[in-house]
Amino acid sequence: MLWRLVRLSSKPQRLFRRVFRYVMMNKAFFFSATALTVTSSLLGLVAPMVSGAVIDRVVAGNVSDIWVLAVVIVALTVFGSLIHFGSDIIGELLAQKVVYRLRTEIFEHLQNLSYSFYDKVDAGQIITRVTSDMEQIGRLLGFALPNLVNAFCMLVSVSCILLFQNRSLALVAFSITPFVAVISLTFNRVVRPFMQRVWTEVSKVNAMVQEVVAGFRVVKALDMGDEMIQRFEGRNRELYDIGMKTTKLSSITWPSLGLIMGMGTAAIYWYGGLQVIGNITSLGELVAFTMYLGMMTWPIMSIGFILTRYQRAMVSAQRIFEVLDTEPEVKESPDAIELPNLAGSVRFEDVTFGYDSTKPVLKGLNLSVSPGEKVAIIGSTGSGKSTLIKLIPRFYDPQGGRILVDNYDIKHVKIESLRKRIGIVHQDVFLFPLSIRENIAYGKPNATQDEIEAAAKAARIHDFIKTLPQGYDTIIGERGITLSGGQRQRVAIARSLLIDPSILILDDSTSSVDADTEREIYEALKELVKNRTVFIITQRLSTLKLADRIVVIEGGKIVEDGKHEDLLKRSGAYAKLYMAQFARQEVSG
């Protein structure tokens, strides 16, 4: 585990009990599946007895109604199979329902978790919890547990039958079982870890291939071909070595089992054979006995596999519950009110905040912004400007001080009603692999085509969209069209325009675009900032010009505050930063 935001008991039994609570939400399924499994395994026990009876009849020469026994066997098999099938299906239904429920719970919980969670946790980890970890639980409940019930049933009932039929022979049979158990345990304890290591080496080999393919131009330019070959040889060889070690170990497992079974059968035949000769048992009983012995092997072997599966599934369960138990850091207070329509004033009162509470980035910051004001926040890297704006929509809560929007403390306002009124155009525009229309209407799923087009026109992207063969229905992303940086930004602007926010946060420090695009973006932004309170963070001169007030952050506090010309004249912090950041202009390419 790479992180642990919540302390969770890692005892498999506790975890299982928790999973079992979900199982119990489907009582009917559980009990019927169990009943059917038990029935089908018990039915399976009848067959050897019938075979035994057949042998005896045959030996005695009494075959007149043997066909009855034949029919019985067929009927038993068919019936038993049907019941087994039924238990399989109900078991699977149960497993899938539990997994469905867990998946829904985790998804909805993830929607509520705050930024700090997503900062700490890597996307891949979250994805595995919703997919492969869930599958592990599904397989445990759908396959492993029913098998366990089956195996247990079989073992108990077969042992009883054997003991009942012929005690001395049964003891001979039981003397084999510890050996089978040992083989099964050894396989799990010893061989499986090796298989894990094989998998690790395979990943290393694959990672190297990926690395070389992705950086192929550089590999060639550096003429690193030979080195790469040597390095790969090393990894390839390690994989081979571990593969061979695993082969040596696993090669012996099944043959050992065969040996034990073979010796056991021989012993039974000999000892039982003597009994038949001495008229203590019939031949039929002996044959039945050997069949029962065969039926004991698989349950014993499978218990080992089931245990491993159980352990693995509980690891998955722990990972899933970890997320479910994580509380969002930004919580809505129970007496939160709905925010009415905003004029758009924002006030920071003595705000102190740090991602790590011991290292504050903002230190007692004060700022008051009137409705409709367009404020540019300037500072050097790490000064806290991006951090400041993240506090406004309550993506994080400050450690000290408070933030007010139209004189409402944002901590006492319903989070959704707050964020509805705030629009954000991010630095790295994130668009979804959906159609352009769906991307623009992302924040307002019920928007009409007219509304969408109006937003696109204002964002200066409508004309471009019209040039595309599928227009607004064109899909963005790998499966569709790749947009340039400037085009993406304009789609994001349209997206924000559509929700018509009272407060706008504009963070556009993207890399260079050509001059034509820059002008289009400027025009789009000009439209976007009309009649809203705007917070601007930018490296681009044209965007800076949209602001009517400049605020400079240094050391977690505001050090300068005023109009662009006035601040330049002062030759203070702003002038310095301006020279460093905006004096570098881009030549279009």
Partner 1 sequence: MSHHYHFHGVEAEGRPKEVASSVLARWLLRQLSPMKFAIAILIATTFATLALNMAGPYISKLIVDEGITKKDAESLLHYSLVLVAVAAASFALGFLRNYLTGFVNQRFLFEMRRKVFDHLEEMDVSYVSGERTGKIISLVTNDIEAIGDVATSGTMEVMIGALTVVGTIYLMVGFHLMLSLATFSIVPLMVIVSRYFAKKTREAYRLTREKISELTSNVEQGVSGSKVSQSFVERKEVDSITFRKVSGETMRANIRARLIFSLVNPSLNAIRAGSLAILIVYGGSLVASGEMSVGTLIAFYGYSEMFFRPIITLTTFYSTVQAALAAAERVYLFLGTKPTVVELEGSRDIEIERGEIVFKDVSFGYGGNEVFEELNLVVKPSEVVAIVGPTGAGKTTITNLIMRLYDPQSGKVLIDGRDVKEFKYRSLRGQISLVPQEPILFNDTVLNNIRMGKRNSSDEQVKNIISELGMDDLIKSLPEGFYTIVSPGGSNLSVGQRQMISFARAMLKDPKILILDEATSSLDPYTESMLQKAMVRTMRGRTCILIAHRLSTVKLAQRIIVLSNGKILEEGRHEELILKGGAYSKLYELQFGAAPIKEMEQALVTKI
Residues 117-136 that bind partner 1 (CB under 8 A): 118, 123, 126-127, 130-131, 135
Cα–Cα dist 397/575, whole Å: 32
Q: 435 in helix, strand or coil? A: strand
The contact pattern for partner 1, residues 41-60, with x = CB under 8 A and - = no contact, is ---x--x------xx-xxx-
Cβ 246 to partner 1 shortest distance, Å: 8
In whole angstroms, what is the distance from residue 265 CA to residue 271 CA?
10
Tell me if 525 sits within 8 A of 493, measured CB to CB: yes
- How many residues interact with partner 1 (rule CB under 8 A)? 153
DSSP secondary-structure letter at 380?
-
Q: Does residue number 297 form part of the binding site for partner 1 (CB under 8 A)?
A: no
Give the residue carrying structure tokens 């696993």: 250
- Which residue in the set 100, 471, 563, 566 belongs to the binding site for partner 1 (CB under 8 A)? 100
* Residue 556: closest CA among 373, 346, 350, 330: 350
Q: What separation, in Å, do the N-terminal and C-terminal C-alpha atoms of the chain show?
A: 46
Based on the number of CB atoms within 10 Å of its own CB, is 422 exposed (0-12), middle (13-18) or buried (19 or more)?
A: buried
* CB closer to partner 1, 348 vs 578: 578
* CA pair distance 533, 346, nearest whole angstrom: 8
Q: Is 273 in the site for partner 1 (CB under 8 A)?
A: yes
CB of 572 to partner 1, least distance (A): 16
Closest distance between partner 1 and the C-beta of residue 352, in Å?
Answer: 23
Among 27, 120, 237, 576, binds partner 1 (CB under 8 A): 237
Q: Which of residues 351-380 bind partner 1 (CB under 8 A)?
A: 380
| Residue with smaller CB distance to partner 1, 212 or 307 | 212
**Cβ contact 553:380 at 8 Å:** no
For residue 367, the minimal CB distance to partner 1 (Å) is 21
518 lies in the site for partner 1, by CB under 8 A: yes
- Give, as ranges, the residues between 70 and 89 that touch partner 1 (CB under 8 A): 70-71, 73-74, 76-78, 80-82, 84-85, 88-89
Residue 28 vs 277, nearer CB to partner 1: 277
From 88, 92, 98, 93, select the one nearest 25 (Cα to Cα): 98
User: Please, which residue, 54 or 346, has the CB nearer to partner 1?
Assistant: 54
Contact characters 189-218, partner 1, x per CB under 8 A: ----------------xxxxxxxxxxxxxx
Site string for partner 1, 242-271 (x = CB under 8 A): -xx-xxx-xxx-xxx-xx-xxx-xxx-xx-
Q: Determine if 549 is a binding residue for partner 1 (CB under 8 A).
A: no
Binding mask 567-586 for partner 1 (x = CB under 8 A): ------------xxxxxxxx
Buried b / exposed e along 489-509 (16+ C-beta atoms within 10 A): bbbbbbbbbbbebbbbbbbbe
Task: Give whichever of 333 and 368 is closer to partner 1, judged by the CB atom.
Answer: 333
Burial of 556 (0-12, 13-18, 19+ CB in 10 A): buried
Q: Which is nearer to partner 1, 334 or 589 (CB)?
A: 589
> Residue 140 has what DSSP assignment?
I
CB of 257 to partner 1, least distance (A): 9
Distances (CA, A) of 35 to 20, 138, 141, 146, 331: 17, 20, 15, 10, 46
Cα–Cα distance, 439 to 494 (Å, whole number): 9
CA distance 26 to 95: 10
Q: How far is the CB of 536 from partner 1 (least distance, A)?
A: 16
Provide DSSP, 105-135: HHHHHHHH--HHHHHHS-HHHHHHHHTHHHH
Question: Restricting to residues 382-421, which ones interact with partner 1 according to CB under 8 A?
Answer: 393, 395, 415-416, 419-420
The interface region with partner 1, picked from 109-117, 343-351, 366-374, 524-532 by CB under 8 A, is 109-117
Tokens of 98: 């539990």
- Closest separation in Å from C-beta 285 to partner 1: 12
User: Of these, 232, 310, 355, 464, which contacts partner 1 (CB under 8 A)?
Assistant: 232
Residue 328 per-residue DSSP state: P
Residue 481 engages partner 1 in binding (rule: CB under 8 A): no
* Residue numbers 306-345 binding partner 1 by CB under 8 A: none
Give min distance, CB of 559 to partner 1, in A: 19
The site map against partner 1 for 432-471 (x = CB under 8 A) is xx--------xxxx--------------------------
- For position 23 contacting partner 1 by CB under 8 A, the verdict is no
How far from 577 is each of 375, 550, 583, CA to CA, in Å?
A: 16, 12, 9
| Sign, Cα dihedral of 194, 196, 199, 204 | negative
Instruction: Give the DSSP letter of residue 432.
Output: -
Among 15, 36, 110, 306, binds partner 1 (CB under 8 A): 110
